[in-house]
Each structure stands twice: as structure tokens, then as C-alpha cells.
């Protein structure tokens, strides 16, 4: 299990040496990405497979982690590219789309993806054939053929498919040699020796900040959605995580002090009646006891930039 962080150490270092603290946390994350890249390359050589499935729940930092691993692979002399499985979503169909028990479209279900096309494209890439990656417009909830992108895997190039359903049996059983990686914020935070900030709250904080800054959704919208997001994780994602070849902890000890400034105001007016409201009211109480760290100390290639903006990567 990942080693838990502590509010005592966070606060001590946030006050005494925040710049060094941030740099050390980023170095740990980068080292994990480099170690993962080395294992992926070894598997590619042994199994003659150039496909990686990278899965993780909402707010886990899948996209940046995939890009970081690509950069590390390129540092080892191997070309690498990422493909977002979100591009394979299909338009909702009133008759065939999966639904929740409440009758709403179940947007967390893997059956929202064009799994046949996705599996076909994976096989074609392995053979070095040309494919046309679709583009799905989440604004219009339709596929946009004009924005489809041609792709061919170069010799020895590694392709990382990242998405919440990347470890689902409907993909992995049809591609048994693919390397399987599960990414999530996996470290709890303790205070006084007891867990005071759950690992799932780290992902929630990331998502609240990103949704507010870049997706036009205030915290009340994200919090209303969270119960269904967690339901989807438990049904469609978590059952497959221990089939992964590696588990990657994407949390960093200094991130809650960074995210605090962005997130704390989001909890100031939680609307009544939303699921898990008592839990959500606990979060700002814990955050208020954690010292801030200036976001300016976050480097441009950090995973945290996926959520607070200013990233060197494009998303």
C-alpha cells in the first residue's frame, strides 16, 4: 500500500521550505514515471507488444501520466504516443444506450464507447496499418468526421491508450499481450495518526478545481455528479485494477496545500440535498488546517497543471 502523507509534515514543509518540498515531490513522481517506462519497454521487447492500456478513475491524472511516460520512453530512445479513449465515445441513443437505475443515460458505462472500432484499431496499429481516430464532441454529443485524425504506428513505436475503461476485459482479453497500468491518487492523508483526508477526496479536489476553472461548472455541479461518478468507478473500473501489471500512485504530498487555495471557496456554499453532503462538509474543515503553497512553485510539466492550468502539455 502507498505510504500515507501527514498534515504535520505538509504544514511544516509548506512553511519552512515550500520550494524544496515541491521540487522533491515532483522528482518522486517523475522517477515513478521513468521506472514505469522502463518496465513497459522491457515488456515490449519480451512480449513483442507495443500497446499499453492505462486506466484510472476520474481525477487520477491519466492524461499527464501518459504523456510523462511517453517522454520517459523517448528518453530511452523509443517513440511513443498517447491515444485518448474518449475519442471513441458514441452519440447517445434513446433505445440502445446504457441507463442507470434512475433511467438516466449511464455515461460511466464502457458501452458508451465504440468497443468494436477500438479493438479493431488496436489490432491494426499492432500490424502497422493506417487507422482514422474518430473525434467525439462532448459539447454536441456527436462524432465529428471532419476532425478525425489519421494515424499509423511506426516500427517499435509504443502506443498508450488511456481512459477509464482501458483495463476492462472487453479490451484486455482481446489484447492479452498489452501492458496494463492502473493510475490513481492512492495515498491517504493522516492528522494525529488518523486518516483525515481520504485518497478519493484528492481526486475530488482535482476535479472540482478543473471543472471550475476550465469546464464552466461550479462545485455544486461537480458535487452533485460525484455520487454517480463513484458508482461508475465501483462497477466499471475498480473490479479490473488488480489485473494491472503495475499500480501507479499519482498523488503528491504537496498538492493539497496547492489545491487548497483553489478549492476552499468551492465548499463555501454547498447546496442542500445532494448525496454525501455530510462528507463534503468535512472537507473544508480539514483544508482549513492545512498551510497554503503558492501555485507558482508548480512546474509547467507537473501533473497538477492538468487541473490548475498553465501546463506545458496540451490537453
Q: What is the CATH number of the domain that holds 268?
A: 3.40.50.300
- pLDDT given for residue 23 in this prediction: 98
Asked if the structure places residue 212 within a domain, the reply is yes
Tell me how far CA of residue 134 lies from CA of 105, 144, 314, in angstroms: 22, 7, 18
- pLDDT given for residue 111 in this prediction: 93
Domains: count for the chain: 1
- pLDDT given for residue 56 in this prediction: 96
Overall pTM > 0.75:
yes
Asked if the structure places residue 314 within a domain, the reply is no
Interval 184-232: pLDDT, tens: 999 999 999 899 999 999 999 999 999 888 887 777 888 888 988 999 9
**Rounded-to-integer distance, Cα 80 and Cα 154, Å:** 9
Asked if the structure places residue 102 within a domain, the reply is yes
Asked if the structure places residue 315 within a domain, the reply is no
Asked if the structure places residue 195 within a domain, the reply is yes
Asked if the structure places residue 191 within a domain, the reply is yes
Length of the chain: 315
Q: In 10 A of CB 34, how many CB atoms?
A: 16
- pLDDT given for residue 1 in this prediction: 56
Interval 172-189: pLDDT, tens: 999 999 999 999 999 999
pLDDT band for 37, please (50, 70, 90 cuts). very high
Element (H, E) at 278: helix 277-287
Give helix 199-214 / helix 255-263 axis angle, nearest 10°: 50
**Rounded-to-integer distance, Cα 185 and Cα 282, Å:** 19
Closest among 172, 196, 216, 201 to 276, alpha carbons compared: 201
158 beta partners: 80
- pLDDT given for residue 66 in this prediction: 97
The answer, yes or no, to whether residue 313 has pLDDT greater than 60, is yes
Asked if the structure places residue 168 within a domain, the reply is yes
The answer, yes or no, to whether residue 105 has pLDDT greater than 60, is yes
473500473: which residue's cell? 237
pLDDT band for 92, please (50, 70, 90 cuts). confident
Pairing type for strands 158-162 and 179-184 reads unpaired
Return the SS3 of 6.
Answer: strand
Average model confidence (pLDDT) for the chain? 92
Instruction: Read off the DSSP letter of residue 159.
Output: E
Asked if the structure places residue 157 within a domain, the reply is yes
Higher pLDDT, 105 or 174: 174
Domain extent, residue 28, equals 5-308
- pLDDT given for residue 255 in this prediction: 97
Amino acid at each position: 500500500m502507498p505510504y500515507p502523507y501527514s498534515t504535520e509534515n505538509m504544514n511544516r514543509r509548506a512553511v519552512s521550505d515550500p520550494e524544496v518540498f515541491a521540487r522533491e515531490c515532483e522528482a518522486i513522481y517523475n522517477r515513478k514515471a521513468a521506472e514505469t517506462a522502463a518496465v513497459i519497454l522491457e515488456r515490449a521487447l519480451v512480449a513483442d507488444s507495443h500497446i499499453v492500456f492505462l486506466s484510472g478513475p476520474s481525477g487520477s491524472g491519466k492524461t499527464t501520466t501518459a504523456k510523462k511516460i511517453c517522454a520517459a520512453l523517448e528518453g530511452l530512445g523509443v517513440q511513443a504516443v498517447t491515444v485518448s479513449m474518449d475519442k471513441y465515445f458514441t452519440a447517445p441513443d434513446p433505445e440502445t444506450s446504457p441507463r442507470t437505475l434512475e433511467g438516466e443515460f449511464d455515461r460511466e458505462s464502457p458501452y458508451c464507447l465504440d468497443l468494436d472500432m477500438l479493438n479493431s484499431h488496436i489490432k491494426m496499429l499492432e500490424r502497422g496499418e493506417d487507422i482514422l481516430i474518430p473525434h467525439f464532441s462532448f459539447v454536441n454529443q456527436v462524432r465529428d468526421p471532419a476532425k478525425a485524425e489519421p494515424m499509423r504506428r511506426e516500427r517499435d513505436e509504443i502506443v498508450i491508450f488511456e481512459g477509464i475503461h482501458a483495463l476492462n476485459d472487453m479490451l484486455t482479453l482481446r489484447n492479452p499481450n498489452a501492458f496494463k497500468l492502473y493510475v490513481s491518487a492512492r495515498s491517504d492523508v493522516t492528522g494525529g495518526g488518523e486518516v483525515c483526508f481520504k485518497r478519493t477526496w484528492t481526486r475530488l479536489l482535482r476535479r472540482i478545481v478543473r471543472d471550475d476553472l476550465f469546464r464552466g461548472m461550479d462545485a455544486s455541479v461537480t458535487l452533485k455528479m460525484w455520487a454517480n461518478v463513484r458508482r461508475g468507478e465501483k462497477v466499471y473500473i475498480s473490479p479490473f485494477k488488480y489485473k494491472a501489471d503495475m499500480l501507479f500512485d499519482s498523488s503528491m504530498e504537496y498538492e493539497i496545500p496547492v489545491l487548497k487555495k483553489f478549492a476552499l471557496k468551492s465548499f463555501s456554499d454547498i447546496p442542500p440535498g445532494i448525496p454525501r453532503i455530510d462528507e463534503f462538509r468535512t472537507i473544508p474543515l480539514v483544508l482549513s488546517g492545512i498551510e497554503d503553497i503558492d501555485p507558482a512553485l508548480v512546474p509547467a510539466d507537473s501533473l497538477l497543471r492538468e487541473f490548475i492550468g498553465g501546463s506545458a502539455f496540451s490537453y
